[in-house]
Each structure stands twice: as structure tokens, then as C-alpha cells.
Amino acid sequence: MIHNTTIIEDGAHIADDVTIGPFCYIGKDVIISSGCRLESNIILKGKVTLHESVKVFSFAAIGHENSEVSVGEKTHIREFTQIATQTSELHTQAKVNIGSNNFIMGYVQILSGVELGEYCIITNAVRLYENVKCQDRVIVGGLSTVEANNTLGTGVMIGGASYIDQDMPPFTLVEGNKATIKSLNVIGLRRRLENKDDIEEIKSIFKRILGENVDKELALEISKTHENEYARQLAHFVANSNIQ
């Protein structure tokens, strides 16, 4: 069902079962897959692909004439969110990749080159600058800003109104302006990992490489030799990060 007030340019590909509400604008290079639902007053421009069962709420804007955006299946994008609606400061435009099953809340701004993994929650009024990368299951608290070219590791949880200007390693709790690592996200680990020994290994490695000082040499060694995959994942991230 497509409302008769919506404007759709020639060339757009829209699946038969898509629902589009009133006063939307769909550009010629847009692809909207089966099961998607768009509420009212939404703008989709440039090479925008919405995969299956994406839901976009009113007054969101995705893309501009020269942008490329991919939104994974079952992702929800809430009201007034802007995704790749402007060029970068260098007047270039990198693809925005948003994975499956993400929840992007209201008034979020996502700039050129941003990548989200799966099952991320980006809460209200967050701003992700150019080339920010969020691995799987990242949660960013409201009113937070992540500066350009930084990576948030899997399972990171960022407190509200935080300012992030460096990489943040997997499984950590982060907050502040500017943000620092407060501890491991132990509750998140318990929900995600069934094996208690895995959690204990992560705790041990965290203390060794991110205790009083960041030990990247030790982290590199652990990433190559440790038998536990989660410990290696944490160590590899730290060894290759911009964490000071």
C-alpha cells in the first residue's frame, strides 16, 4: 500500500508488499525490499537499499544525491533520524553500512562511512561522525557523540551524554566527557556467554592489558597465543586500537 501523496521517481524498485505512508519522497536509485514499512514524511535519496522488514518512522531522512546507504533486515529507524544526508568535511562520500536487527532511535545523526554491526542500539540524539564503526551489540546512550574514525568493539555499552574520541574495546562499560573505560560489561557478558570460564578469562585479560596502563605489546602476544577466543578477540582489538 502506497499513499497517493507520496512521490516516487522513475527507477525506484519497491516490493509489492511494502507500505509507504503519506508525504514521502523516494528517489530513483532507491530499493525497498519485501516487508518494509515507511511512515509519513520520509525522504530517501541516492543509492539507498532497505532490506527485508525494515521499518522507518516519520520525518526520517536517509541519503542524498551522491550517497550510498544499506540498511539490514529488521532494523528500526525512529523519528527525525538523519543518515548520510550530508557530505563529509572532505566533500567525499563513503558508503554507510547498517547491519540487521538494529534499533536506531529518534534524532540520531549518522554521517558518511559509518558501519553498524548487528543488534546495536543507538539511543536518542546520538551523533556518529565519519567512519565510526560499531561492532555487534553495541549500545550508545542518549546525547552521546562518537568522533570520526573510531571503533566501538562488540558488546560495548556507552553511558548517556558521553564524548568518545578513541576506540573502545569489546565488552566494556564506557562513560564521561571525555569518555573513559569504567569496567567490563559483566551483566552483558552473562547474558551473552553461557560458559562462566569464558567470562573469567575475559576478566583476567582485561586486568592485564587495560589495568593501570594500556599494554599493547602484551595484548598482541595474547591475541596470537591465548587459547580462549574471547580473550584473543579483546586482546587483538586493544593491540590494534588507537587507545592511549
Domain chopping of the chain, boundaries: 7-131, 188-239
pLDDT band at 212 (very low <50, low <70, confident <90, very high): confident
Task: For the beta carbon of residue 12, count every other beta carbon within 10 angstroms.
Answer: 15
SS3 label, residue 204? helix
Percent over 70 (pLDDT), the chain: 98
pTM for the full predicted model: 0.95
Tell me the C-alpha distance between 229 and 231, whole Å: 5
Task: Give me the pLDDT at residue 59, please.
Answer: 98
Backbone conformation region of residue 228, classed left if phi is above 0, alpha if psi is from -120 to 50, else beta: beta
Task: Give me the pLDDT at residue 87, please.
Answer: 76
**56 grid coordinates:** 522507518
Tell me the C-alpha distance between 75 and 19, whole Å: 15
Tell me the C-alpha distance between 68 and 48, whole Å: 6
Task: Give me the pLDDT at residue 165, please.
Answer: 98
pLDDT band at 82 (very low <50, low <70, confident <90, very high): very high
SS3 label, residue 167? coil
Task: Give me the pLDDT at residue 89, please.
Answer: 65
Residue 124 has pLDDT above 70, yes or no: yes
Average pLDDT (193-218) is 95
Percent over 90 (pLDDT), the chain: 94
| Angle between helix 229-239 and helix 196-209 axes, rounded to 10 deg | 20
Residue 79 has pLDDT above 80, yes or no: yes
Task: Quote the mean pLDDT of the chain.
Answer: 96
Tell me the C-alpha distance between 128 and 125, whole Å: 10
Task: Give me the pLDDT at residue 86, please.
Answer: 84
CATH fold label, 7-131: UDP N-Acetylglucosamine Acyltransferase; domain 1 (2.160.10)
Residue 41 has pLDDT above 90, yes or no: yes
pLDDT band at 244 (very low <50, low <70, confident <90, very high): confident
Residue 88 has pLDDT above 80, yes or no: no
